Structure 1
């Protein structure tokens, strides 16, 4: 993982105010107008609309329908978390319950009709959400979230119920997240981290947990969209929105299926045009995975070879595991564009260097042979009998003087080198501590990528916890495989975006003459 930088994000720390129920106030405003853009010859849009989700993630008013403070009730914990979140974002909170005068000391509204204003966000905690969603649509709420399950993931009857839910919001202009979603959007995001952030989209909330936990290693997370069954808002909507947010450096996705393939590709196209990397785990490589996805969120995964080719065409980087999703998204979010595509392996062990060089070459990375002049320069500080052609074997990083730092600087000064990979198989103080310090100091003074693989299974060593993770300029990994996967994605992404021409720009917009006559 790339290490942290520390700072403060501005947040509205006003106390959440509960206003007694009364008259609604304020006109209905449902975000910026949709951008239709050009249409192709069949009348389909050629650009993704960007939904205005600002008031979803930063609402000014929140209603909780089915709020509770009764001991032992599931809704009680949810209400408490939503109240804490509303306070953090500076929103007014309105508990709604037909028989409770107050919840957690906040006055309760007996029904949606009693809300004192048009709310930005309504969270529905009742078992049968359809009547409540219809009431919210009538009240012109901007967004609603439905947690309840029992919809498309359960079969034909549930699919019909989900269609009714979709129709209810479609008639009103209100947007809906869910059903079958959770509280992930309302988690506590650390406000003391700076730098480009990862925005997260998951169709299974639990699968986003490893990425969310990156904050504990100093990696900034800005948003989390748990889309669930996607009766209305879908992954493509959040992808388009996140691609437009200036703080987002990369978008990480866990996908089980695509609700609308063209909508998703239009959103991916928007991200590609803006150079925002999208990294995705996409389920459905096997029959078992596809079947399980259908029973989980009601998603049809699609033919995997077709999905894979489509994602690749629009620059979406597909990875297999959540660990790869963490490491690749982190690197792409934080690293500067490469100056060259050459990779050098720098190792204190000839065996380690040979092994990593093999794996890097098999991964498709280019390991240039360093020039004779560069090798002669390195041999000023490294014994002549050690190979420095690439990989560079130092025989043991110097600890008593500045030779180690000079070796690293000389490698990074080579114009063919864009990435330095240094595998450290395990802690070996003071050698490993000095090596780590020299790498971090060199990384702070270069615009090239420095990667360290900290191979210790313990991960509690000061060199790792305090020095490597304390640096925002060194990409730190726990496995060689994840390091090489991320480096390949990093170089590939920048090659892709540099030469990207959207296929939608070439789409025909008017019928050709031979088709006009028979149509008439």
Structure 2
């Protein structure tokens, strides 16, 4: 199988024929529940073959002794036998030319070393035969829009609300939790829960859903990402087709990482790297299941447009203020109504009502429902609004039911979505009508505004990155970083800077001196003041052991510095191999210290980190990250995060932002050219002069893989 290439899943999701190995009548068994879901609750497009060597028939259908004995080759084989019998079944499937096998059985990688060895054998069978494997240790696959349940779950017949949302998860329990959000009116057309991902991964299903005509919004619960480039390609495909991808990534904390690894034995990656890559490719990241459901359904109802400003329509002053506070705290903006809207509100609402934004109709709507019918529709259709929030603080019986009917009617007359918030724990008839009409009301102001914020931010990202789904140059391949002492080596600063200079990176004039006399000669040619730094492949942090002296203004100071550095370093790190001192022109004072770093993430590959440098990098951790390669637009966005420090505050001249952006792109290109070689790179500090003076790394560290081609 070609690495990182997404699978063609059409025959798995729309199979023409299915075989169930392990079909059973033993009540409550996986084989019995799967058989019931297929025979009783699914609408099959073709034959269902039952495989059970000890039974001639089940439920009036013939049983076959093995996959090899079947009269025809099915598209999909569902495997519901104990783990000890799975390998033999998969061998039969491979020999028969089956396209897909869904392995429901547990007892593999999640169960220890023996299970992992079994998974390795499954991978070997798939690799040599072309058979694609789904699972093991999974609840199966549910195609709700086609009413097909390749699953043992007893909930399958109860979770069958068709809809435009596609769900891809690794864990089954949380995935079923999202499926049961259907009770709020959320229709999920396809659910893939991939389990241990011995072959097919969540990314394969995101890629499929990106092209599936019946799916408009893609939702994913991730415990770990095994193939970073495949995941990136999948979300780019979704972006190219205008489909938002909404992700809840568990395993962010140390506790969460341990749980995720013990559950699926998956690589969880760095939480910061994951989140940065999600942002880079327009993936909407949420923090909890409720947020996942609220956000997904808002996207399923409408995609964000250019109008971001919001309206609030309410009959309770306190509730209106609470909602307005939440909107402001989220960094969102309330709209100014058009004169036409204001005039109608003034004419229809009493003098003591609030006709600005938020609108507080007061309790008079309880006695005159026609006011809501005319004013809500006008507000929701206002040309300055992108969305209208209607918080409903309490269930007031028939009055609230009429309010729900007004919301439904108003939505029919306007394109911008209306988001009703059902705040009461009493789920009366009004709530049920909203659910039946597809509104899936959020249950609190905070949850609703959180979903709206993500909806608005996604729209901004799409407008700022119209080609976010365009294919990039190939990513640098990820690789598990080795902690073997012989696996990597640190290049000296002089060697690292030589590599960078050859790549077109501008540096301060410098030269390596192997003696004090050479140091004086170099300084005379370069021009004082200079900096003197120890050069040793054994010393990564030179300043920590007295290996750097700055501001040397003449030969006498340089001569003294030579002896001081050599004696101090020798005393503090006696075993270090010293090549000499690097003599370098000293940069002008007054620059902001910045940092550019690159690390190789084991899942995604090379990731660039940029932000405040010097002593501030550890103290403030004010950084932004991008997966490589980056383009000019990415570099500009990264620099924008520190723009306030570079804009010429307090009489300082504006910094050379263009040069800094160019440096970021040049470093990206440099790393990609040496992708198999570079494990880490750090430029800290990076000096940025006034406009036209450039952006220049003052220190450089490169850690490379030993044995990699130069």
Q: Deviations over 1:391-427 (max 9, x none)?
A: 1111125343633222223323432111110111101
Q: Which residue of 1 aligns with 2:458?
A: 493
Q: Which whole-Å CA distance do the structure 2 matches of 1:72 and 1:505 have between them? A: 48
Shift of 1:49: 4.6
Gap regions ≥5 residues in structure 2 = 143-148, 476-502, 505-669, 675-708
Q: Deviations over 1:202-229 (max 9, x none)?
A: 1111111232224344432211101000
SS in 2 for 1:405: helix
Alignment of 1:179 onto 2:115: no
Q: Which whole-Å CA distance do the structure 2 matches of 1:260 and 1:162 have between them? A: 17
Alignment of 1:64 onto 2:8: no
Q: Which residue of 1 aligns with 2:406?
A: 438
Q: Which whole-Å CA distance do the structure 2 matches of 1:397 and 1:104 have between them? A: 63
Shift of 1:376: 4.4
Alignment of 1:321 onto 2:288: yes
- Of residues 59-68 and 366-375 in structure 1, the stretch that sits farther from structure 2 once superposed is 366-375
The change in CA–CA distance for 1:53 and 1:63 in structure 2 (over 3 A counts) is same
Q: Which residue of 1 aligns with 2:211?
A: 244
Alignment of 1:453 onto 2:421: yes
Q: 2:90 aligns with which of 130, 133, 153?
A: 133
Q: Deviations over 1:342-367 (max 9, x none)?
A: 11111111111111100111112211
Report the aligned-residue RMSD. Answer: 2.9
Q: 1:484 aligns with which of 449, 453, 465?
A: 449
Q: 2:359 aligns with which of 385, 389, 392?
A: 392
SS in 1 for 2:305: coil
Q: Which residue of 2 aligns with 1:469?
A: 435
Q: How does 1:12-161 map to 2 (within 5 A)?
A: 49-71=5-27, 73-84=29-40, 88-127=43-82, 128=84, 129-161=86-118
SS in 1 for 2:191: strand
Contact 1:63 / 1:93 at 8 angstroms: preserved in 2? yes
Q: How does 1:220-369 map to 2 (within 5 A)?
A: 220-338=187-305, 340-369=307-336
Shift of 1:184: 4.7
Shift of 1:453: 0.6
Gap regions ≥5 residues in structure 1 = 1-33, 37-43
Q: Which whole-Å CA distance do the structure 2 matches of 1:223 and 1:93 have between them? A: 21
Q: Which whole-Å CA distance do the structure 1 matches of 2:28 and 2:177 have between them? A: 28
Q: Which whole-Å CA distance do the structure 1 matches of 2:421 and 2:32 have between them? A: 44
- Of residues 178-187 and 69-78 in structure 1, the stretch that sits farther from structure 2 once superposed is 69-78
Q: Which whole-Å CA distance do the structure 1 matches of 2:38 and 2:343 have between them? A: 63
Q: Which structure: larger Rg?
A: 2
Contact 1:423 / 1:480 at 8 angstroms: preserved in 2? yes
SS in 2 for 1:340: coil
SS in 2 for 1:379: helix
Shift of 1:250: 0.9
Shift of 1:273: 0.9
Q: Which residue of 2 aligns with 1:209?
A: 176
Q: Which residue of 2 aligns with 1:19?
A: none
Q: Which whole-Å CA distance do the structure 2 matches of 1:57 and 1:155 have between them? A: 31
Shift of 1:118: 1.2
Q: Which residue of 1 aligns with 2:639?
A: none
- Of residues 369-378 and 425-434 in structure 1, the stretch that sits farther from structure 2 once superposed is 369-378
Shift of 1:193: 6.0
Q: Which whole-Å CA distance do the structure 2 matches of 1:90 and 1:373 have between them? A: 55
Contact 1:336 / 1:449 at 8 angstroms: preserved in 2? no
Q: Deviations over 1:217-275 (max 9, x none)?
A: 44322111010000000000000001111111211111100011111111001001111
Alignment of 1:407 onto 2:364: no
Q: Which whole-Å CA distance do the structure 2 matches of 1:353 and 1:345 have between them? A: 7
Q: Which whole-Å CA distance do the structure 2 matches of 1:469 and 1:73 have between them? A: 35
SS in 2 for 1:241: helix
- Of residues 220-229 and 331-340 in structure 1, the stretch that sits farther from structure 2 once superposed is 331-340
Q: Which whole-Å CA distance do the structure 1 matches of 2:303 and 2:193 have between them? A: 29
Q: Which whole-Å CA distance do the structure 2 matches of 1:356 and 1:292 have between them? A: 36
The change in CA–CA distance for 1:370 and 1:115 in structure 2 (over 3 A counts) is same
Q: Which whole-Å CA distance do the structure 1 matches of 2:190 and 2:336 have between them? A: 43
Q: How does 1:411-422 map to 2 (within 5 A)?
A: 411-422=379-390
More strand, by proportion: 2
SS in 1 for 2:420: strand
Q: Which whole-Å CA distance do the structure 2 matches of 1:350 and 1:365 have between them? A: 20
SS in 2 for 1:222: strand
- Of residues 153-162 and 202-211 in structure 1, the stretch that sits farther from structure 2 once superposed is 153-162
Contact 1:198 / 1:248 at 8 angstroms: preserved in 2? yes
Contact 2:171 / 2:193 at 8 angstroms: preserved in 1? yes
Shift of 1:384: 3.3
Q: What count of residue pairs does the alignment treat as equivalent?
A: 469
Contact 1:145 / 1:179 at 8 angstroms: preserved in 2? yes
Shift of 1:431: 3.6
Q: Which whole-Å CA distance do the structure 1 matches of 2:34 and 2:225 have between them? A: 29
Query: Could you say which structure has the greater relative contact order, defined with CA pairs below 8 angstroms and 6 or more residues apart?
Result: 1
Q: Which whole-Å CA distance do the structure 2 matches of 1:89 and 1:438 have between them? A: 41
Q: Which whole-Å CA distance do the structure 1 matches of 2:60 and 2:327 have between them? A: 60
- Of residues 497-506 and 152-161 in structure 1, the stretch that sits farther from structure 2 once superposed is 497-506
Q: Which whole-Å CA distance do the structure 2 matches of 1:363 and 1:51 have between them? A: 39
Contact 1:339 / 1:448 at 8 angstroms: preserved in 2? no
